[in-house]
Amino acid sequence: MAWNSAARAEVSLADGFTIGGRLKQGVAVAYDKKVTGGGVEIGQAAYLLELTSAWRPVNDVTVTADFWLRGDLYQDVGGDLTAHGIQDYSSPAFRDQFRYHLNRRGAGTPGGPLANPASDPYGSDDEQNVFLSDFNDEMIRELAVKVTDPQNRYALKIGKFVRAWGQSDGIRLLDVLHAQDYRQKFIFGDSDEMRIPSWMAAVDLDLGRLGFGDLLSAVGITQPKLELIYMPEYHHSRFVINNPPPGDSTSGGLYGLPYPLLVDKTSGRGVPFFGANLSDREPDQFRPGEPTLGSRLKFEVAGGEATLNALYGYQDMPVVKMTGAHAVIGNALHDGSNAIAVIPLDAATTEAVVQGLYVPALRAGASAEQIQTGVLGCPYPGGSFCSVNVQFDLDYRYRRKLIGASYTRDMVEWPLGPKEVSPVLRAEFSYEFDKPFNCAIATTMFGNQEEGAAALIVDPSRGVTERDQLSFMIGADYFLWLPFWTEQDTSIFTSVQFFTIITPNGEDLLFQAPYASYGAKLHPVQNYGTLLASHNFDDGKLAAELLAVYDLQNNGFAIRQRLDFNYFGDHWRPRIEITHFEANPEQGVLGIAQQADNVEFSLTMQF
């Protein structure tokens, strides 16, 4: 059952040709003190202009198109959000982090001496989010031709579009054909807006009409349909890590992923004078000879609908690989443009310095000055100091190999409640082979076992491993009638899901690199629960929807509450949406977004 998305209007301009669209502008007020400093600030101003059309020149051919222009005007109208960045080398045990501004409104202040640095030395810039205007990657949502056999035996669709698989909401087990866009709503975006479309071809075969029905019915299978996917275009999931080092400064604003907390797990001390530069390493965008391939067999059995799924594609989330470092001579705040020199170091030298000199000095209780003089070879004349930007690849070049199944059944045998409504049970299963992970505990070139941030500064051959992963979901949909609500005129739609994700031998893996702070390790058995409830009040004019997600192992909780006001005809749709996260920083998927609490006011015009 998909989460609700905005309705669209369409106009028929001629026989077989329709056009429609929508214009949406929102303003989100951030209220989490971790980014506002107290009070509230405008944190996002996302907009969307969408144009859709469909044309049927003949009965068996349909041409569809969907174009978007979207972005976030926060850069120009937003408040001064700040985030935690590099470890503050003047704080006790280096545990505090420098703050930095997420847009140009706060440009940061110059750094002072080691004993008295600026509290917010960095300014960042999120203008890359103002216009998401790359024509192929951002603006074409669908441009496709579908040809159908007059006898409905087969259909062929070619172009750029999206295919949705699976029964689960929010946590994807089988809905893996397309990567996800987390830049504007993180996990709380509408699924049809988060999926990233690709150029592809899909063949749908009705096996019953093609003559295979009798053979399959002998084993209890009816209505068999086979879907085959060929996808030569690759996309990985889109996100922005809020990254303050001037050499690689990025900002995703309110929904940007936080800069990791850099802490040595053994001593509990922060890791000062270290930043990170991140580089994407991904397959070629078009790989006709090495495409993503998928297949799904859909059929009815035992009174319900089942699928068998298989995918051979690419990972949409990365592992982190250390490739070297840049030593910034003459600047303690990682700013190579204001340094005496920037010296590149290869991966082996970087690991030797960090694991052989820096980490032992840190654990021995070295002061900031001692780290500068004894490890980094500073100070230089005039009191200039040094810093290091470690170079990391975000590597997406691992294949994804997955099989799975789903089953849905209306349990007519179980009439429940005052209206004797039957629940719908849903189940889903997936098994992924050789999924890549960063190691939470890695062996250094000196034979030591390191955990936490230090485990990322090793040769990738010792810092990356692969594991199989098994996932289950069981859920139920139910149209609820409350016996004590005597004036209830329509049911309350409810959907409950429970997920279990098992990673055998997964005790010493990172949940998601580069997040490696305390407790950020992957749980070998991870459980989530979700609840969706929606109801229309006032004769359908006020629509309310509640979505809650609970992370059992990390004790994290997130909620999204929507109110849609349908009082203004068919074309205007005001909405109030509240998003709130309660989770420890970097602990699981909810902890990554724990600073993104906001209330959004939006207005959609449909045409």
The residue written with tokens 């005496």 in the block is 340
Tell me the CATH number at 176. 2.40.160.10
The pLDDT mean for the chain works out to: 91
Q: Is the dihedral of CA 161, 166, 168, 173 positive or negative?
A: negative
Report pLDDT digits (tens) over 510-532: 988 888 866 688 999 999 999 99
Of 498, 462, 468, 494, residue with least CA distance to 481: 494
Residue 199, pLDDT score: 98
Are residues 70 and 49 in contact, defined by beta-carbon separation less than 8 angstroms?
A: yes
pLDDT attached to residue 516 = 81
Q: Is residue 471 part of a domain?
A: yes
Q: Which tokens hold the place of 1?
A: 């059952």
24/46 Cα distance (integer angstroms):
8
Question: Does residue 375 sit within a domain?
Answer: no
In a domain, residue 85? The reply is no
Question: Given a cut of 60, is residue 9 above it in pLDDT?
Answer: no
Instruction: Tell me how far CA of residue 486 lies from CA of 94, 423, 467, 600, in angstroms.
Output: 61, 22, 54, 33
| pLDDT class of 3 with cuts at 50, 70, 90 | very low
- The two beta strands, 464-480 and 424-438, are antiparallel
Domain that holds residue 150: 9-73+130-236+282-318+396-606
Residue 468 confidence (pLDDT) above 70: yes
At 4, the pLDDT band (50, 70, 90 cuts) reads: very low
Start-to-end Cα distance in the chain = 26
Q: Is 500 inside any structural domain?
A: yes
Which pair of structure tokens corresponds to residue 144?
């496709």
| CB distance 566 to 573 below 8 Å | yes
Q: Residue 329: inside a domain, yes or no? A: no
| pLDDT surpassing 90 at residue 423 | yes
Q: Where are the beta strands (DSSP E) in 129-284?
A: 140-148, 154-161, 198-206, 222-231, 274-281
What does the pLDDT read at residue 214?
A: 82
Query: Cβ distance 456 to 538 under 8 Å?
Result: no
pLDDT of 2 reads 42
Q: Is residue 86 a contact partner of residue 97, using CB atoms and an 8 Å limit?
A: yes
Tell me: pLDDT of 552 over 90: yes
Q: What is the pLDDT of residue 19?
A: 94
Confidence of residue 1 (pLDDT cuts 50, 70, 90): very low
The answer to whether residue 355 is domain-embedded is: no
Q: Is 222 left (phi over 0), alpha (psi -120 to 50) or beta?
A: beta
Report whether pLDDT(378) > 50: yes
Number of domains in the chain: 1
For residue 604, give the nearest of 8, 119, 2 by alpha carbon: 8
Q: What token pair was written down for 77?
A: 């109208």
Point out the least confidently predicted range of 23-27, 42-46, 257-261, 303-307: 257-261
Mean pLDDT across 138-148: 97
Closest to 103 in 3D by CA, of 122, 83, 82, 124 = 124
Predicted TM-score (pTM) of the model is 0.91
Residue 469: inside a domain: yes
Quote the CA–CA distance of 545 and 532 in Å, as a whole number: 7
Residue 319 has, within 13 A of its CA and on its CB side, a CA count of 27
Strands (E), 232-360: 274-281, 292-301, 304-314, 319-329, 341-346
Q: Where are the alpha helices (DSSP H) in 211-325?
A: 213-217
**Other Cβ atoms within 10 Å of 483 Cβ, number:** 9
pLDDT at 105: 57
Mean pLDDT of 464-479: 97
Tell me if 195 is assigned to some domain: yes
pLDDT tens-place string over residues 567-589: 999 899 999 999 999 999 888 99
pLDDT of residue 212: 87
In sequence order, the 6+-apart residues with CB closer than 8 A to the CB of 591 are 520, 554, 556, 583, 584, 585
Predicted pLDDT at 104: 65
The mean per-residue pLDDT over the stretch 344-367 comes to: 96
**Exposed/middle/buried for residue 259 (C-beta within 10 Å: 0-12, 13-18, 19+):** buried
Q: Is the predicted pLDDT of residue 79 greater than 50, yes or no?
A: yes
pLDDT of 486 reads: 85
- Average pLDDT of 108-116? 69
